[in-house]
Structure 1
Amino acid sequence: MSSDANDFARSMGIATSALRAQSGRMRVISENIANADSTASTAGGDPYRRKVPTFSSALDRALDAQVVTLGRIKTDNSDFHVKYEPSNPAADATGHVKYPNVNPVIEMTDMREAQRSYEANLNIISATRRMIQRTLDILKI
């Protein structure tokens, strides 16, 4: 494979790894949003705890390039939101209910950032495909 072909493959491989990582990030954010108003299944228990995706760098030997991967999914250990709701089945002995430590505004901001990164990587793949096609068109002449 020529050097230019390797460069094209490397660009597409790196962008594809980023698409996978951002897709995983969006999945975690979606789970957080879906559970934002959930409560514990038992009285006084802990509700859903927000998850935070991490990224890591990995060497793709086939591409001879550093690519991004979705790393460990960590839990956010910040405090739960507590409301006084004595009639709620999830209330503790004092009538307080714990709600997840999920802030929907933060989650939507993170989702938008992940979406923009995903779109940027799609644009890289599209631009690379256009360059490959133009190169092939030139070679046909």
Structure 2
Amino acid sequence: MSDFSDSLSLSSSGLKVQAARLRHVSENIANSDTPGYRRKTVAFETVMGGTTPGAVKAGRVHLDQTELEQIHDPSHPMADESGNYAGSNVQLVIEMADAREAQRSYEANLKMFDQARQMSSSLMDLLRR
């Protein structure tokens, strides 16, 4: 039974990290028009010393250090003397692609979790006979 529980733990860890990734992507999209906002990315780390080899967890959140877009709008309250202010460095095309990739990875982990659960249930049914 440990193989079943290992596969459930492994897919569960994948579900958690993809959910965290999707949360940060949606935060980036929501703040794409916020002046001075920097894009957030999350790194995945392998869980060391755990019972399930290959399990992952969400690591630290990193701020994208690319240069912020300079927007010319002299009427904006944050504009400097030249009429420019710092926008965000979020690119919606990249965020949408990241969201799609996280969604697909989440779905794959969910299918793996469901398959392991069904196999475990079928094994229990066979052992009851």
State the TM-score, normalized to the length of structure 1: 0.87
How far the C-alpha of 1:60 sits from its partner, in A, is: 5.0
Q: Return the match for 2:4 from 2, 5, 8.
A: 8
| Residue 48 of structure 1, CA deviation | 1.1
CA distance in 2 between counterparts of 1:89 and 1:32 reads 23
RMSD (CA atoms): 1.2
Distance change >3 Å, CA 119–CA 100, structure 1 → 2: same
Q: What residue number does 1:44 align with?
A: none
Alignment-derived partner of residue 53 in structure 1: 42
Cα separation, 2, equivalents of 1:51 and 1:102: 9
Say which of 109, 134, 138 aligns to 2:122. Answer: 134
Structure 1: runs of 5+ lacking an equivalent: 40-46
Deviations 1:56-112 (A, max 9, x none): 101353x34231111111111101111211111121110012110000110111011
- Name the structure where strand makes up a greater proportion of residues: 1
Of 22, 25, 38, the match for 2:21: 25
Q: Which residue of 1 aligns with 2:79?
A: 91
**1:13 & 1:132 partners in 2: Cα distance?**
13
Letter in 2 for 1:100: S
Where do 5+ consecutive residues of structure 2 fail to align? none
- State how far apart, in whole Å, the 2-side matches of 1:67 and 1:60 are: 10
**Number of corresponding residues:** 129
Which residue of structure 2 aligns with residue 101 of structure 1?
Answer: 89
Q: Percent identity?
A: 40
